[in-house]
Each structure stands twice: as structure tokens, then as C-alpha cells.
Amino acid sequence: MDLNQLTAHELLDRLKKGQVVSKSILDSLYARIQAVEPKVKAYARFKPGDKLSLNLQASALSAGLPITIKDNICTEGLNTECCSKILADFQPPYDATVISKLKAAGSSIFPLKSNMDEFAFGSSTENSYFGTTHNPWDLGSVPGGSSGGSAAAVASDEAIWALGSDTGGSIRQPASFCGVVGLKPTYGRVSRFGLIAFASSLDQIGPITKDVEDAAILTRIISGYDPNDSTSVNQEVPDYTKSLGNEIKGLKIGTPKEYFIEGMDAQVKSVIEEAVNRLKSLGGAINQVSLPHTQYAVPVYYIIATAEASSNLARFDGVQYGYRAKSTSLIDMYKKTRAEGFGEEAKRRIILGTFALSHGYYDAYYLRALKVRTLIKNDFDAVFKDFDCIVAPTSPTPAFKIGERTQDPLKMYLSDIYTISVNLAGIPAISIPCGFTKNGLPVGLQIMAKPFNEEMLFRVAHAFEQNTEWHKVKPRL
């Protein structure tokens, strides 16, 4: 096996024992990228034949394991453009807290950033200014989104491990589509400082990895209180690797009946049912539960997330950074800059969010959505009184075809029907590979737990993973 195919924990082990040097890991990644990146397009701003050597040599100086970073997480001196024209050539003057933590832990930041839907607006990575990423399992299908570049890079061994961000499923859904592990930590677990904001009350940074152990290691590195993020929580970060290797006998596991509904792909349904049976055979006590307000999650989300986005994206006006349109008057400069700089989905969301917050509509939309958000959170609180975790599909379908949903935004929004509630409730959730459809597309199993109980996720996910082989299957490229 080539080095780039190994997991991070396998490589960390070899680095520690002196069996491998950082330079050879980078070389193997680079060779892989040259070979398959023209097909997958997981990275933003990659040009075939590009000599990454200078950057690579620079990163090789820090002897760490390379990590791939989504294009919306600030890396000092390294282009961070949210895959948007409006942030063209932006090089942050500082590192996001997660980047500082990674560097302090000895990681080297991979010089190419991963592709994403512009400003994380999307479920397919088709909204990137740099073009669509292709699913390594079927190049005609989407990798999911918005962290589709990170997920595709990890799945195709173009990355050892990666960071993504998840506002409504943007880590878990692409992880599910690409057959890798993706975790959305509890809101407040990981600092958002330096994550270019989409919806501040929902955004979290999290790991996308080849297996559960890597996710546990990476989550520990990036978690923790940060005075620079007033919503980060001052609570000790456990050693998540201690949650691995434990049995799950007797754990109370709920399956929400509202998630197993019509509209769910029949093959996904049977793969998930098989996965649930596996958990049962490992000793989990499975019972059906109810999250009665599930159907309202998507409408609530598209009010709250767009309202926050409209406010957060007001900063992109051509004054402080990025693209500026030519104009002789200020208001006109704002309007033209934003018209030319934002893509279609960004405009749609900003206008929807501005509408929801505007005079005369605030009570009917924004305030009402906040109230229904409370009901959604209460649903989870009630279930977690009696259950240790909840399992469900990550997505109602496997990866869909490129172009299939781009003409119908509402249909695209419904791709996130199983992941959005988790962000609204602020709880943690993980997606792990749990099987394939007949056409060979991966299916993800989602596990959700109480706030700050990532340990439960790792425990259940690892027990499942160690008793299955799904995470070891690699796409043929």
C-alpha cells in the first residue's frame, strides 16, 4: 500500500517509530494528486502540472502529518476564498484557532485547500467558483456538500485526513456520499474563530477521515475553549481515543420513526436496516423513538441559516478584501461588486435571509423559526432522557448525478433533511460508512448523541466499524 492510502493513526505511528519521514508522505500525496485530481477535482485552484514543490518543501520542513483544509478556514498567507469570486486572492493575515492548534500539535497544513460550495451554500459542491468536484465512486455523481472537496480528497487518498465545516450537514452528508467518516461536533466544542461565517448559531468545524480512530484523534486536537470565540464552551476535552474499543452491550439506541419515511431510497433503507441489525447483534438495545417536529427542520433551517448568512455576508462589499467592481459611486460599487462577486445560490440565500429579517416579515418568519427551533431541540432532549444515542440514515439517497438538482433549489435543500435537525439542536453527530447500493455507491449511518457526548459517538461508531469492513473498501479510480 502507498503511504497516502494509510490512515493518519497508522502514519503517526510510523512517524513516531522513525519508519517514515514526512517528506515521503507528501511525495506520495503529490503523486496521487497528479494522477487522479484531473478526474476528481477535490482541490480548489489546482492546475494540472502545477509544481507544488516550493510549497511542499516549505511544509516538509515541519515534520508533521499533512492535513487538508476546507477553503473557508483561514490559513495565514495561504489563499482562503470560500470558493467564491468575491474573495478572489484573499490571503488571511491570521490563522483560524483550529489551524493554530493543528500546528501546535505538529501537523503541516497542506498547501492546497479543498473545494466547496461557495460560502458552504449547497449540498453537492456544484456551487463552487472553481467548478464541481466529482464523486470518486462514480465520477458522474456529486460528492455531496458543502465539504465535498474534503470528503472526495480523503476518499480518493488525495488527502490523509481533512477538516470540513458543517452548518446543516456539510460534513456528514459528503462523508456519507464518499464513504468516509465525518463528525459535526457539539456547537461550542470547536472554536469558530477564523472560520468564515455562514450561519454563526449553526456552524461547526469538524474532521473528515478514513476511520473512526482518526476522527477521535483529530477532534481532540481541534476542540477546546477559545477566548476568541464567545460561543466556545469552557469544558475539558477528553481523550476521545479512550472511547474506542469499548463494547456497546446494553446501550439504549433509538431509531426515529420520522426518519424512515417515504421518499427514502429503497436501497439506502435496506442498508440502514442491516446496519441497525448489526448494532443489535453487538448488544445494542434498539427501540423506535419519535422526533415529532422533524418535518419542520428544513423550513426552519432555511429561515435561520439564510437570515444569519445575509448578515454575515454583508462584509463582502469590495472595501476590505477580495473582488471590487469598477464604479464611481459607493452604493453602486457595493451593488455591482456583490452582483459580480457572488454566485447564484449565494444571491438566493442572501435575498431570502434579508426578506426573513425585513420589516413586516420578521415575526412571521424569523421569530417563528426560532420558536420552532426550540420545539426541535425539545424533541431531542426528551429522547435523550431515556436513550444513549440515536441512529438514522445520514441522507435519504446515495450520491445523486451531477446537474440533477441544480435547477430546483428546493429539491436540493431537501437533500439535508436528516442532517439539519442536529445543527438546529446543537448536538453532535457522526456519519460512518455502513454499506453500498447495488451500483456501488456508499451509504452513511448517522449517530447522534447528547451535547458534549462525542465519546458516545466514537464508542458506537468504532464498535460498528471494527465489526464491519466497509471503511476498508476503496474506490477504483
Partner 1 sequence: MAIDKETVEYVAHLARIELKPEELERLSRQLHDIIGFIDQLSALDVEQVKPASHILPISNVLREDKPHVCLTPDKALENAPSKIGNFFSVPKIIE
Applying CB under 8 A, does 261 fall inside the site for partner 1? Answer: no
> Smallest distance from the beta carbon of 409 to partner 1, in angstroms?
6
Nearer to partner 1, 17 or 359 (CB): 359
Q: Which amino acid is at 75?
A: T
Measured CA to CA, the distance from residue 424 to residue 434 in angstroms comes to 25
> Smallest distance from the beta carbon of 354 to partner 1, in angstroms?
4
Closest CA to 364 of 356, 373, 352, 353: 356
Nearer to partner 1, 103 or 252 (CB): 103
Determine which one of 28, 41, 59, 70 is catalytic. Answer: 70
Q: Segment near partner 1 (CB under 8 A), from 57-65, 89-97, 130-138, 252-260?
A: 89-97
With CB under 8 A as the contact rule, the residue among 334, 384, 387, 464 that binds partner 1 is 334
Sign of CA dihedral 439, 138, 34, 67: negative
Give catalytic status of residue 24 as yes or no.
Answer: no
φ, ψ of residue 351 in degrees (nearest 5):
-70, -40
Applying CB under 8 A, does 22 fall inside the site for partner 1? Answer: no
Give catalytic status of residue 170 as yes or no.
Answer: yes
With CB under 8 A as the contact rule, the residue among 254, 343, 398, 451 that binds partner 1 is 451
Q: Segment near partner 1 (CB under 8 A), from 35-43, 112-120, 207-215, 324-332?
A: 324-332
Contact 456, 449 (CB under 8 A): yes
Please state whether beta strands 162-166 and 66-70 pair in parallel, antiparallel, or not at all (unpaired): parallel
> Smallest distance from the beta carbon of 376 to partner 1, in angstroms?
8
What residues between 211 and 250 interact with partner 1 by CB under 8 A?
A: 227, 230-231, 233
Quote the radius of gyration of the chain (alpha carbons, Å): 21
Nearer to partner 1, 13 or 332 (CB): 332
> Smallest distance from the beta carbon of 190 to partner 1, in angstroms?
13
With CB under 8 A as the contact rule, the residue among 245, 375, 440, 472 that binds partner 1 is 375
> Smallest distance from the beta carbon of 460 to partner 1, in angstroms?
23
Applying CB under 8 A, does 362 fall inside the site for partner 1? Answer: no
What residues between 338 and 357 interact with partner 1 by CB under 8 A?
A: 338-339, 342, 344, 347-348, 350-352, 354-355
Read off the C-alpha cell for 215.
Answer: 476522527
Determine which one of 22, 84, 146, 431 is catalytic. Answer: 146
Q: Which amino acid is at 475?
A: P
With CB under 8 A as the contact rule, the residue among 106, 237, 296, 477 that binds partner 1 is 296
> Smallest distance from the beta carbon of 357 to partner 1, in angstroms?
9
With CB under 8 A as the contact rule, the residue among 26, 208, 369, 399 that binds partner 1 is 369
Applying CB under 8 A, does 328 fall inside the site for partner 1? Answer: yes
Read off the C-alpha cell for 128.
Answer: 463552487
With CB under 8 A as the contact rule, the residue among 23, 246, 286, 321 that binds partner 1 is 321
Q: Which residues pair with 390 in a beta bridge?
A: 254, 448
With CB under 8 A as the contact rule, the residue among 47, 249, 371, 401 that binds partner 1 is 371
What is the residue whose three cell numbers read 476528481?
40
What residues between 379 and 438 interact with partner 1 by CB under 8 A?
A: 409-410, 413, 424-426
What residues between 275 and 294 interact with partner 1 by CB under 8 A?
A: none
What letters, b where the CB count within 10 A reaches 16 and e where it falls short, cover 254-280? bbbebbbeeebbebbeebbeebbebbe
Applying CB under 8 A, does 121 fall inside the site for partner 1? Answer: no
With CB under 8 A as the contact rule, the residue among 5, 57, 295, 439 that binds partner 1 is 295
Measured CA to CA, the distance from residue 390 to residue 448 in angstroms comes to 5
Instruction: For residue 330, count other CB atoms closer than 10 A to its CB.
Output: 11
Give catalytic status of residue 70 as yes or no.
Answer: yes
With CB under 8 A as the contact rule, the residue among 3, 74, 303, 432 that binds partner 1 is 303
Closest CA to 458 of 236, 277, 212: 212
With CB under 8 A as the contact rule, the residue among 333, 382, 473, 477 that binds partner 1 is 333
What residues between 29 and 88 interact with partner 1 by CB under 8 A?
A: none
> Smallest distance from the beta carbon of 262 to partner 1, in angstroms?
17
Applying CB under 8 A, does 335 fall inside the site for partner 1? Answer: yes
Measured CA to CA, the distance from residue 393 to residue 260 in angstroms comes to 8
With CB under 8 A as the contact rule, the residue among 5, 53, 91, 277 that binds partner 1 is 91
Catalytic residues: 70, 146, 170
